[in-house]
Amino acid sequence: MIDQRVVVVTGAGQGLGRCHAMELARDGAFVVVVDPGVALDGAPGQPTRADEVVAAIRAEGGDGRAFAVDVADWDAAQHVVEQTLTTTGRLDAVVNNAGILRDRMFVNVDPTDWDEVMRVHLKGHLAITKFAASYWRKAAQAGVPMQARIVNTTSGAGLQGSVGQSAYSAAKAGIAALTLVQAAELGRYGVTANAIAPAARTRMTERAFAEVMKAPESGFDRMAPENVSPLVAWLASAESGDVTGQIFEVDGGRVAVAEGWATGPAHDLGRRWTRAELGPAVRALVAARRPAQRVWGT
């Protein structure tokens, strides 16, 4: 249970983010639902997707607040954190879920699309979390015990690469590395940072992997997005304080911990290599290493 905790979830208006928000609320959290919109708190008289999710949370007996903002907007991110603290007096976790796709083969990459993918994924993971982390550090330095959590969203595309998704893969790989740095830097303040690499049916994956994501006619629906959310809720809880700097792959009923990049076989001559020596040596090292997972789409 994460009763009484306050959790920000980005990209929470639909798909995985909505499932995370609902799961967290059912566990007793006050959920701050962040999703793009036309004004900081939604246009008057015009409910946003964020408003709809908060309404659904309240219909089930929970509570939350909606912010219709761009997660990569620096001022809006600061506003979300400041208003959350003003409203609730606390902030315990940030779940970074917001993302977009602009898929193209690498030779056809459009610079504008590339920049937008990086902005939404990488700056979107930075902005709200940076302001939250500043609050957690200041509180910890003042002697307040912290049990704060960051839950980021990477992807198999970021861990292994994915054909036709160079921008998305690069951004998601950046998120995985960012998670490791956050865990190393923020642990002293009582903050953990982990990431999930989910496989689930969403608006984005339904188009890219239609056959894989198709719902079965009967039985367990492995690709249902709500399958991912219990892990997110656990990682956002006080109970998960001994787990940090990890990447978890999750789909259906399967949870795996990614082992990540690590130094493999090596050969040290103790002197400068010659060009002629390197070919045989490099091939021997590659042959001796643990086989890499295949790039998605190959």
Taking the C-alpha atoms of residue 280 and residue 180, their distance in angstroms, rounded to an integer, is 34
Q: Which two tokens stand for residue 5?
A: 């905790």
Q: From the candidates 155, 162, 237, 240, give the one annotated as an active-site residue.
A: 155
Contact 249, 17 (CB under 8 A): no
Is 189 annotated as catalytic?
no
Q: Which two tokens stand for residue 240?
A: 């998960």
Contact 169, 297 (CB under 8 A): no
Three-state SS for 161-204 is: CECCEHHHHHHHHHHHHHHHHHHHHHHHHCEEEEEEEECCCCHH
216 Cβ partners below 8 Å, 6+ apart? none
Is 172 annotated as catalytic?
yes
Given the structure tokens 């970074």, which residue do they identify?
A: 96
Is 155 annotated as catalytic?
yes
Residue 6, exposed/middle/buried by CB under 10 A (0-12, 13-18, 19+)?
Answer: buried
Q: From the candidates 162, 166, 172, 240, give the one annotated as an active-site residue.
A: 172
Q: Is the dihedral of CA 49, 55, 58, 60 positive or negative?
A: negative
Q: Which two tokens stand for residue 158?
A: 């970021």
Q: From the candidates 135, 162, 166, 168, give the one annotated as an active-site residue.
A: 168
Residue 35, helix vs strand vs coil:
strand
User: Which residues on adjacent β-strands are paired with residue 232?
Assistant: none
Neighbours of 21 (CB within 10 A): 34
Q: Tell me which residues are annotated as active site.
A: 155, 168, 172
